[in-house]
Amino acid sequence: MNKRKLGNTSLQTSPIVVGANVFGWTLNEKESFAILDEAFEAGFNTIDTADAYSRWAEGNKGGESETIIGQWMKERGNRDQVVVITKVGSDMGQGHKDISEKYILKAAEDSLRRLQTDHIDLYFTHWDDDKTPVEETLGAYQKLIQAGKVRYIGASNLSPERLRASLKASQEHGLPRYEVFEPGYNLYDRQEYEQGVAPICQEEGLGVINYYALASGFLSGKYRQEEDLNKSVRGGGIKKYLDARGQRILAALDSLSEKHAVSQASIALAWLMHNPLVTAPIASATKSKHVQAFTEATQVVLRSEDMELLDNASAYTIPS
C-alpha cells in the first residue's frame, strides 16, 4: 500500500489512519485485536488514539484504547512498524481540559506506560484549554522531544487563532512546531474546516488527518431514516445528518458506489483521499467488512466528474 508523508515529519502513513476510539468502547480487547490484525495485514500502519479513549463508555475511566493497543503491539512484537498517534488535554476525570506543562508531562508518562513503549511518534494537543500560554504547552513538548519520548507534535480542535499563535511562537522561540492538524471533516461536515484552519494548514504545509471521516457511519449509507438510527449504539449522533443535503450526498454516493462497484463508505473515503486539503482520513472499523471497505477505498480512482458530483451534492451555503 502506498504511503503518504505526514507534513514536514519523516513519518509515512497509509492513506487511511486506523481510528482507535472504538477500542474498549464498542469493541472489547479480543475484537480490537482482530480489527488491528486485519488492518495491518492489509497494509494500514498508523493508529490514532488518545488518553481519553474510551472514557465515555460505561465502567471506563480513560486509557482503555491505549492499553489495548499497547498489549497488541507487545504480543505481536511490531512496535517499530506502527506509527502511534496519541493525544493529551481531554478531561480525564479532573473536570476540565488541561494543556499546562505539569499536566502534559505527567499525562505523557501515563500514555507511554499504557502503550508499553518508550516513545510516541506523534503527540497531539487534543483540545485547547483556552488559557495555557501556547509557549508553555510547546515548551512541555520540547522537553518530551528532547527526552526522546515524543518524535513530533500535532494539534486537534484548536481555533484558527490559537493555531496561528502556536505556529508563530514555535518560529519565534525555537520551540517545536505542530506539524500535523486533526480536524473533524467529511463530505457532510465541510464548512468549519474549509473556512477555518484549512488555509493555515495549506500555507504552513501541515499534514492533515481528519476525524469523523465517515460522519460516524452516516456516509456508509446504512442510516437513511429515523428508524435506522438504532442500527448501532452510535446511531443517536447521526440524526443531524438526516436532512435534504444529507440525502443529496447519499444519492451521489449511491450512484458512484454503483459505478465503481465499491461501497458508499469507500467512495466517501476516496473523496477525502483525492482532496488536496487532506493527507489521510482517520476512520474506525468495528467489523471485518469495514476494513475491507477501507482497502477498497485506497484502490478507487475518482475522476474529475466524480469529484464534481460529490462536491456539488455536498455544497453548502456560506452565510453572508
Count the Cβ atoms, other than its own, within 10 Å of residue 267: 30
Smallest distance from the beta carbon of 320 to ligand NAP, in angstroms?
30
What residue has cell string 443535503?
A: 245
* Cα gap 29→70, rounded to integer Å: 11
Sole binder of ligand NAP in the list 51, 66, 182, 204 (CB under 6 A): 182
User: Interaction with ligand NAP in 119-138: which residues (CB under 6 A)?
Assistant: 126
Q: Name the segment binding ligand NAP (CB under 6 A); options: 14-22, 95-103, 200-208, 240-248.
A: 14-22
How many residues does the structure list for the chain? Answer: 320
Sole binder of ligand NAP in the list 290, 295, 309, 314 (CB under 6 A): 290
What residue has cell string 472514557?
A: 55
Smallest distance from the beta carbon of 173 to ligand NAP, in angstroms?
26
User: Interaction with ligand NAP in 155-174: which residues (CB under 6 A)?
Assistant: 156-157
Q: Name the segment binding ligand NAP (CB under 6 A); options: 8-16, 71-79, 213-221, 248-256.
A: 213-221
Largest CA distance in the chain: 55
If we measure between CA atoms, which residue out of 77, 60, 58, 64 comes closest to residue 29? 64
Count the Cβ atoms, other than its own, within 10 Å of residue 213: 29
Sole binder of ligand NAP in the list 9, 14, 21, 132 (CB under 6 A): 21
* Cα gap 85→3, rounded to integer Å: 16
User: Interaction with ligand NAP in 38-57: which residues (CB under 6 A)?
Assistant: 48
* Cα gap 168→52, rounded to integer Å: 28
Smallest distance from the beta carbon of 52 to ligand NAP, in angstroms?
9
Sole binder of ligand NAP in the list 6, 11, 16, 19 (CB under 6 A): 19
Report cis status (omega within 30 of 0) of the bond before 263. no
Q: Name the segment binding ligand NAP (CB under 6 A); options: 8-16, 69-77, 132-140, 215-223.
A: 215-223
Is residue 22 a contact point for ligand NAP (CB under 6 A)? yes
Question: How buried is 176 (Cβ within 10 angstroms: 0-12 exposed, 13-18 middle, 19+ buried)?
Answer: buried
Judged by the rule CB under 6 A, the positions of this chain that interact with ligand NAP are 19-22, 26, 48, 126, 156-157, 182, 211-217, 220, 222, 232, 234, 263, 265, 282-286, 290, 293
